[in-house]
């Protein structure tokens, strides 16, 4: 979801003394390694023969109302890993993690898991040796060293990204970035092509097998028994559950889609939800792929093709590398750096509950063409790319004052790649500006004009993106002004909001717009 640069200003602060952030050891080869369901790649083990513990916990599924395809993906990935490892893995299908751990003999180690809650759990178990986290490009110590760097007052993603590029020698010519510029984002904000065709083949899709069939039958049965409940549609599995599948998708992206990725990465099209996106975030967040290896493979592929006379646009290559080693790592580290309170930050005082139509992914209840299309894609696939997340779904919640913590839960549950760490930073920080500007220098609020420019939605909509008042007033355009009016005091000190706030004073019909939007509330627009 990340877009644009942020800075570390007010809001929640670091909690370095927290035991969940201790300097854990890095290796424990003579132990059985418990791998959580988002730690499934070989880089979470200390060697090819290390015994493994895998636990499928029904309680984790029952705790939340996940998208059906997310539950399928996680269970399928875990069961495929157990099948792959054969006798090397002890696989428990139980009610809770504790039930399984109580049955295991011998020393067990675990790489630090990915949420405060799960870290607290493993640290409370005296029978577990907790190791440093894996699955990210920069380590906790490297991030801390960078954050505490001499004279550093702001924790900008852009600075972090450059540091990481230098540290790992990615897209570098000696001390300089390849092409002479670090960030080519300005070339990656083009609207959709006029003919609505992005010009890449369909992504490669995995094939389901008998393990998927078992998962599907189990989920059906548990749902019928009332043990779990889901949102969203069941459907063919679209995302990788094994390392082999994840590598296949990576290769397909590098060969057929990467070149077209950059220019239209922010565009939205009614008839093409995949565009040239990599669709790799679920595989990365399940731990099937090591992100540094993905970045290295991307650079190698681009260099090999350039040597063969097939030069890929640098803005596409750099844009993808920035997503993986810049934004993904940055939101991971900020999740920990800003501490436990980060999740509960609510700087704009947003307290509306998530409306039922949104919670239920009920696109049929929605007239607004953009929101209906995005919600429909999410219901069907459990995935939409970063701009529908930020500028359609997140923008709606921001304008309507929906509680940021509740929206974080909603994103976590509704997306196949959603996890606590990624959604707290992306939703509380980036999308809802609830952290008071710790991650983003201004709220990602926009009216219908932005959506009109970046999509083909508005032409077929019953609303008019230019109208803020009346029957056909666009809920995003009107909502934008109502949002500014409601948050004027909190945003007054933000210099990047000075001009938009000044614009409010020029609106003669502002009281009528505000009243119209008050009546509209969070009813399906």
Q: Which residues lie near ligand SF4 (CB under 6 A)?
A: 368-370, 448, 451-452, 457-458, 461, 463-465, 474-476
- 71, two tokens: 């539950």
Q: Which is nearer to ligand SF4, 71 or 398 (CB)?
A: 398
Q: Which is nearer to ligand SF4, 265 or 452 (CB)?
A: 452
Place of tokens 């923008």: 395
To which H or E segment does residue 53 belong?
Answer: strand 52-57
**Residue 4: closest CA among 450, 503, 298, 443:** 443
- Nearest approach in angstroms of CB 182 to ligand SF4 is 33
Q: Which is nearer to ligand SF4, 8 or 273 (CB)?
A: 273
- Nearest approach in angstroms of CB 402 to ligand SF4 is 17
Q: Which is nearer to ligand SF4, 353 or 460 (CB)?
A: 460
Pairing of strands 108-111, 176-177: unpaired
- Nearest approach in angstroms of CB 453 to ligand SF4 is 10
- Nearest approach in angstroms of CB 315 to ligand SF4 is 27
Place of tokens 């369909």: 202
- 265, two tokens: 């990465």
- Nearest approach in angstroms of CB 121 to ligand SF4 is 42
To which H or E segment does residue 211 belong?
Answer: helix 210-225
Q: Which is nearer to ligand SF4, 11 or 192 (CB)?
A: 192
Any alpha helices (H) in 415-463, and if so which ranges? 420-423, 448-454
- Nearest approach in angstroms of CB 259 to ligand SF4 is 29
- Nearest approach in angstroms of CB 374 to ligand SF4 is 10
Cα-based angle 32, 36, 42 (whole degrees, multiple of 5): 65
Q: Which is nearer to ligand SF4, 342 or 463 (CB)?
A: 463
Q: Which is nearer to ligand SF4, 6 or 448 (CB)?
A: 448
d(CA 397, CA 402): 5
d(CA 102, CA 125): 10
With b for 16 or more beta-carbon neighbours within 10 A and e for fewer, the 103-137 pattern comes to: ebeeebbbbbbbbbebbebbbebeebbbbebbbbb
Q: Which is nearer to ligand SF4, 319 or 448 (CB)?
A: 448
d(CA 143, CA 419): 21
- Nearest approach in angstroms of CB 454 to ligand SF4 is 10
Beta-strand runs (E) in 67-158: 89-94, 108-111, 128-131
- Nearest approach in angstroms of CB 457 to ligand SF4 is 4
**Residue 136: closest CA among 168, 166, 90:** 168
Long-range contacts of 209-217 (CB under 8 A, 24+ apart): 211/76, 211/79, 211/80, 211/83, 212/72, 212/76, 212/237, 212/241, 214/79, 215/72, 215/75, 215/76, 215/79, 216/72
- Nearest approach in angstroms of CB 375 to ligand SF4 is 12
- Nearest approach in angstroms of CB 469 to ligand SF4 is 14
d(CA 212, CA 240): 12
Q: Which is nearer to ligand SF4, 302 or 392 (CB)?
A: 392
Q: Which is nearer to ligand SF4, 161 or 480 (CB)?
A: 480
| Coil, helix or strand at residue 32 | strand
| Coil, helix or strand at residue 385 | coil
d(CA 267, CA 191): 5
Q: Which is nearer to ligand SF4, 206 or 479 (CB)?
A: 479
């Amino acid at each position: 979801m990340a877009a644009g640069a942020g800075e570390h200003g007010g809001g929640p602060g670091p909690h370095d003394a927290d035991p969940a952030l201790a300097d854990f050891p890095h290796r424990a080869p003579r132990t059985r390694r418990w791998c959580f369901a988002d730690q499934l790649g070989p880089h979470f083990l200390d060697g090819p023969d290390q015994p493994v513990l895998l636990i499928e916990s029904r309680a984790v599924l029952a705790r939340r109302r996940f998208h059906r395809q997310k539950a399928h993906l996680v269970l399928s990935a875990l069961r495929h890993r157990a099948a792959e490892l054969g006798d090397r893995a002890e696989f428990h299908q139980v009610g809770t993690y504790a039930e399984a751990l109580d049955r295991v003999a011998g020393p067990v180690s675990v790489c630090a898991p990915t949420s405060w809650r799960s870290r607290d759990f493993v640290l409370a178990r005296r029978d577990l040796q907790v190791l440093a986290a894996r699955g990210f490009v920069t380590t906790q110590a490297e991030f801390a060293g960078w954050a505490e760097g001499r004279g550093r007052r702001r924790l900008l993603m852009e600075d972090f990204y450059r540091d990481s590029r230098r540290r790992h020698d990615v897209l570098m010519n000696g001390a300089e970035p390849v092409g002479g510029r670090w960030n080519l984002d300005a070339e990656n904000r083009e609207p959709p092509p006029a003919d609505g065709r992005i010009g890449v083949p369909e992504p490669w899709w995995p094939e389901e097998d008998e393990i998927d069939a078992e998962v599907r039958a189990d989920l059906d049965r548990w749902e019928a028994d009332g043990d779990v409940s889901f949102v969203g549609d069941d459907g063919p599995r679209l995302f990788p559950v094994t390392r082999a599948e994840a590598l296949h998708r990576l290769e397909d992206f590098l060969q057929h889609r990467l070149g077209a990725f950059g220019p239209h990465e922010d565009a939205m099209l009614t008839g093409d939800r995949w565009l040239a996106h990599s669709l790799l975030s679920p595989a990365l967040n399940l731990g099937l792929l090591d992100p540094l290896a993905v970045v290295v493979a991307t650079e190698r592929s681009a260099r090999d093709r350039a040597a063969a006379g097939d030069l890929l646009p640098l803005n596409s290559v750099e844009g993808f590398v920035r997503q993986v080693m810049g934004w993904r790592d940055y939101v991971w580290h900020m999740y920990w750096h800003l501490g436990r309170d980060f999740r509960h930050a609510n700087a704009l005082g947003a307290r509306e509950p998530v409306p039922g139509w949104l919670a239920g992914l009920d696109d049929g209840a929605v007239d607004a063409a953009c929101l209906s299309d995005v919600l429909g894609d999410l219901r069907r696939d459990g995935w939409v790319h970063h701009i529908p997340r930020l500028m359609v779904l997140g923008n709606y919640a921001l304008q309507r004052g929906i509680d940021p913590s509740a929206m974080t839960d909603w994103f976590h549950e509704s997306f196949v790649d959603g996890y606590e760490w990624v959604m707290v930073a992306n939703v509380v920080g980036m999308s809802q500006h609830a952290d008071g500007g710790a991650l983003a220098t201004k709220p990602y609020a926009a009216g219908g004009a932005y959506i009109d420019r970046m999509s083909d939605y508005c032409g077929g909509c019953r609303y008019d993106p230019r109208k803020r008042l009346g029957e056909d007033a666009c809920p995003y355009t009107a909502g934008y002004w109502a949002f500014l009016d409601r948050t004027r005091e909190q945003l007054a000190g933000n210099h990047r909001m000075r001009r938009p706030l000044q614009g409010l004073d020029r609106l003669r019909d502002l009281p009528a717009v505000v009243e119209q939007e008050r009546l509209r509330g969070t009813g399906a627009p």
